[in-house]
């Protein structure tokens, strides 16, 4: 933006948005300039906080006319710097936080129409109050917003049963790069009327337009649950156990999580209140979370039966089934505290990768061996969603090593993991997206016909390149 | 295509495809020029039958260079003329019938990689042989192909449980309009790496590229099933019964179909072997198909329990539960023979529409009344997938009326139904797509920002407009 522009556009923005809708003081803007992981610190001449779809559209039209780049922002919990402006100071940050009404909830249709700024936890709560379930569940659910989880196609723990954010969305409303409002809030399971714009916007990270509202799918709430924490013989046994549960009743497997002995050790050492629910330590663990709307599903009995078979087959060496909800929550904490426990243990590098489900054991083994060879003494901490092939193949620094020296090897570590993942037909970004962190990998992984098509679509819908520039496409 | 071009491009096509791969005799071409419903009869100078993705790409490159329009064709079972060339004779029909290998099937990953020309039934059978289920199921499954069901995002009977074709697809391979091959055959549940090209191609009806192969999701096969045929009090009672079953165990509801008394009367009158499994005729019926991978799911007991409650509430007036697989198949025939029975009764007009599930009863009632008023003596035959909001709101001619005179009112009939559907927030094409039949409705229903974005995408990916011209976009 030319130096002369800011004051004029600020006046116009103020006229549209009013005093609550525009932040221009450095102290007010600052929280919007850094990403959650503190990988980037950008700049912006203002933060727009529109309160309605119409205001979002007015802001986008103004920016389109003035050639001002826009960085859309939801809960600002991106793991890849997806909601952080660049350092130029030319960007306007457009926060959706005030576009946050739940417009409708229909327990007969099993749909909820929620605006982009609705926090994921608030959407879950609204569904629960109506006796329904909105199943998307992830660590940042207390801050992440509906617009953000759709724009990044968030995954989380329940993908194995309910799919990613994409599969939970029936319709969208969005402001397109020219400032037009597209109302695609259709509450339909079947609607074959042209190109699937809604699926193009989901996962586009705000680079093709700004999601302002969505029709979300709801499900019947669980009336029977069972939760087991198991020590398993090795990575193959973890996968074999998943297969046993899936083949018995795939619709009952709400989550199926793998954890390494190392990661669980970190949790029990560093996190108060986290204890191992088994008698002896193991090198590999699995958390099995079962749920059904049938009160008579007898999931505890099913879990016991499957675990008995798996013990006979020497896949499972020990297991505990939660006796009540409090115990279940305590077991879930072992899994949820992995990021915090890793942080307390020292520096670590995250790798959010996926492979075909059948390849997970090989991926964990090969990555762990390669990482130990790359940095002797380093400690692989693989954990995550084995049921959908998405493992967080994280690496903890060697004990006593200088954290900065370890983090200086971040790119070597990511390259090391990605080489194995690629060989196994996997992806370098499973659920976190591309953002700013991984744009430089797009050419290598998605180059050729695929990236050319993406670029053609971007140029067609956002010819000025003003929507979240610097993200997704290199 | 200029008159001078055909002979030259025919030589080049023959060189690429060999004698089995190119049809030029009028008698050989003829079966490829009409659609399944005989609504259109087009022309083509040849039919290309490539046997591999590479051959498809070579044909597309040749046509792109020569400016020759391509009409891709799978099983040629489109309900809307989607695979029929126009009358100009300038088109090349590109049949995928010989690109028909199942490249891989992994019962651990629960994925199958199938080429575009694989017939849907063959894909179902391959999955079953491996002990798995590929759940997409529709009337034309003996002819329709994987490429076709994905390009049209086919729905069918099991959408209520497993989603449409879109939701059953993890990865795609396609030849793009410039003749480049895009290999997106990723077997991943999570892969957030840029725009969802695969979802853009699904449902694009071949206008953005030609699907050549896909990674499909498989599911555990059913080990317990139950099937009920019920007389219900009215349309509201049909929906209330759906809700009862869904709330009890939504994952067990494999299909939930509504039928009118009129439609069932046609079937029992005209189709040999179809009989009513209840003592007395009713005005409204429902077919409930339950399935679970759990052998101990006790679905029959669940069905009895739910039906008992629904009888107490006077929603269900009579019901029969199939005692065995043969009885279940016989009951399914009542539903499946609806199109044939309608044909034998006389002329009819089809309306493949959808509304939010909660609006189905109102839609059926309002459409039926409006249609009877539009054409006195005409007989509404609503039937279909009440569980996903997609009802075939068909209309049978009045007894004794001249069929041609009735069919001359087709557009009035469609307009009459669509006015109600639109008022209820529905869609004018639920599962059949746009093809050639409904392009002229796109401006009215999807005009503005949405159609503008579709046109921009089309121009960006197919700047010459050679991919299935005349379809989808007006």
Taking 90 as the threshold, does the pLDDT of residue A207 lie above it? yes
Taking 70 as the threshold, does the pLDDT of residue B329 lie above it? yes
Give tens-digit pLDDT for B31-68.
999 988 888 999 999 999 999 999 999 999 999 999 99
Taking 50 as the threshold, does the pLDDT of residue B151 lie above it? yes
CATH topology of domain B5-95: 3.30.43
- Please state, as a whole number, how many other Cβ atoms lie within 10 Å of the Cβ of residue A345: 20
Q: Which of residues 134-163 of B touch A (CB under 8 A)?
A: 152-153, 155, 159-160, 163
Which residue of chain A has the CA closest to B251? A251
Q: Which CATH class is domain B224-338?
A: alpha beta
Which chain B residues have a beta carbon less than 8 Å from that of A180? Answer: 448-449, 452
Interacting residues of B349 by C-beta distance below 8 A, sequence separation 6+: B394, B395, B406, B407, B409, B410, B413, B414
For the domain bounded by A346-423, which CATH number is listed? Answer: 3.30.70.2740
Distance CA A20, CA A356 (A): 48
Q: Which CATH class is domain B102-220?
A: alpha beta
Which chain B residues have a beta carbon less than 8 Å from that of A153? Answer: 192, 196
CB of A65 within 8 Å of a chain B CB? The answer is no
Give tens-digit pLDDT for B415-451.
999 999 999 999 999 999 999 999 999 999 999 999 9
Give tens-digit pLDDT for B126-142.
999 999 999 999 999 99
Same fold, A224-338 and A346-423: yes
Question: Quick one: pLDDT at residue A2?
Answer: 45
**How does A125-155 read in b/e, with b if 16+ C-beta sit within 10 Å?**
ebbeebebbbbbbbbbbeebbbbbbbbbbbb
Which chain A residues have a beta carbon less than 8 Å from that of B292? Answer: 249, 251
**Tokens at residue A320, please?**
């505990």
Q: Testing the interface with B: which of A79, A105, A194, A204 to mutate, by most B Cβ within 10 A?
A: A194
Of A190, A292, A454, the CB nearest to B159: A190
A232 CA: distance to closest CA in chain B (Å): 18
CA A268 vs. chain centroid, Å, equals: 25
Q: What is the mean pLDDT of chain B?
A: 96
Of A194, A453, A458, the CB nearest to B446: A194
Give tens-digit pLDDT for A411-469.
999 999 999 999 999 999 999 999 999 999 999 999 999 999 999 999 999 999 999 99
CB contact under 8 A, B192 and A434: yes
B164 CA: distance to closest CA in chain A (Å): 8
Q: Which of residues 211-230 of B touch A (CB under 8 A)?
A: 219-220
SS3 (DSSP) at B51: coil
SS3 (DSSP) at A366: helix
Give the residue extent of every domain in chain B.
5-95, 102-220, 224-338, 346-423
Taking 60 as the threshold, does the pLDDT of residue A1 lie above it? no
- On whether the CB atoms of residues B398 and B380 are closer than 8 A, the answer is no
Which chain B residues have a beta carbon less than 8 Å from that of A438? Answer: 193
CB of A202 within 8 Å of a chain B CB? The answer is yes
Give tens-digit pLDDT for B162-191.
999 999 999 999 999 999 999 999 999 999
Which residue of chain B has the CA closest to A244? B108
String of DSSP letters for B344-394: HH--EE--EEE--GGGHHHHHHHHHHHHHHHSTT-EEEEEEEGGGTEEEEE
CB pairs under 8 A between A and B: 270
Which chain A residues have a beta carbon less than 8 Å from that of B191? Answer: 354, 427, 429-430
CB of A357 within 8 Å of a chain B CB? The answer is yes
Q: Testing the interface with A: which of B110, B189, B239 to mutate, by most A Cβ within 10 A?
A: B189
Question: Quick one: pLDDT at residue A473?
Answer: 97
Give tens-digit pLDDT for A359-383.
999 999 999 999 999 999 999 999 9
Taking 60 as the threshold, does the pLDDT of residue B3 lie above it? no
């Amino acid at each position: 933006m030319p130096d002369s522009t800011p004051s004029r556009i600020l006046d116009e923005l103020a006229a549209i948005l009013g005093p609550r809708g525009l932040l221009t003081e450095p102290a007010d803007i600052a929280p919007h300039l850094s990403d959650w992981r503190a990988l980037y610190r950008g700049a912006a001449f203002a933060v727009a906080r529109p309160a309605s779809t119409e205001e979002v559209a007015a802001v986008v039209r103004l920016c389109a006319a003035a050639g001002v780049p826009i960085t859309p922002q939801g809960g600002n919990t991106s793991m890849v710097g997806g909601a952080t402006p660049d350092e130029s100071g030319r960007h306007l940050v457009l926060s959706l936080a005030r576009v946050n009404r739940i417009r409708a909830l229909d327990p007969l249709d099993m749909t909820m129409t929620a605006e982009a700024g609705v926090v994921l936890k608030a959407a879950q709560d609204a569904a629960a109050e109506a006796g329904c379930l909105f199943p998307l569940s992830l660590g940042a659910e207390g801050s992440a917003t509906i617009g953000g989880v759709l724009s990044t196609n968030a995954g989380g723990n329940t993908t194995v049963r309910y799919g990613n954010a994409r599969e939970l969305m029936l319709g969208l409303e969005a402001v397109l790069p020219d400032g037009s409002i597209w109302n695609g809030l259709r509450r339909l399971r079947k609607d074959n009327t042209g190109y699937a714009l809604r699926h193009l916007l989901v996962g586009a990270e705000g680079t093709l337009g700004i999601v302002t509202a969505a029709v979300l799918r709801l499900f019947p709430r669980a009336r029977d649950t069972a939760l087991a924490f198991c020590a398993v013989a090795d990575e193959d046994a973890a996968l074999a156990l998943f297969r046993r549960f899936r083949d018995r009743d795939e619709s009952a497997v709400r989550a199926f999580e793998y954890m390494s002995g190392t990661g669980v050790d970190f949790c029990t050492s560093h996190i108060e209140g986290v204890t191992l629910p088994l008698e002896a330590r193991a090198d590999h663990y699995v958390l099995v979370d079962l749920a059904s709307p049938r009160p008579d599903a007898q999931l505890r009995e099913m879990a016991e039966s499957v675990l008995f078979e798996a013990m006979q087959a020497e896949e499972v060496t020990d297991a505990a089934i939660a006796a009540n909800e409090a115990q279940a929550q305590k077991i879930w904490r072992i899994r949820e505290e992995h990021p915090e426990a890793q942080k307390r243990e020292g520096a670590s590098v995250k790798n959010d990768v996926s492979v075909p489900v059948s390849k997970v054991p090989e991926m964990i083994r090969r990555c762990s061996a390669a990482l130990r060879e790359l940095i002797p003494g380093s400690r692989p901490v693989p954990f995550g969603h084995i049921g959908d092939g998405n493992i967080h193949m994280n690496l903890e620094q060697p004990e006593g090593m200088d954290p900065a020296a370890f983090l200086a090897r971040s790119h070597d570590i990511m390259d090391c993991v990605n080489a194995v993942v690629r060989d196994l037909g996997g992806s370098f970004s499973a659920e976190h997206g591309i953002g700013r962190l991984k744009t430089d990998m797009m050419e290598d992984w998605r180059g050729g016909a695929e990236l050319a098509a993406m670029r053609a679509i971007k140029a067609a819908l956002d010819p000025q390149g003003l929507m979240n520039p610097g993200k997704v496409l290199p």
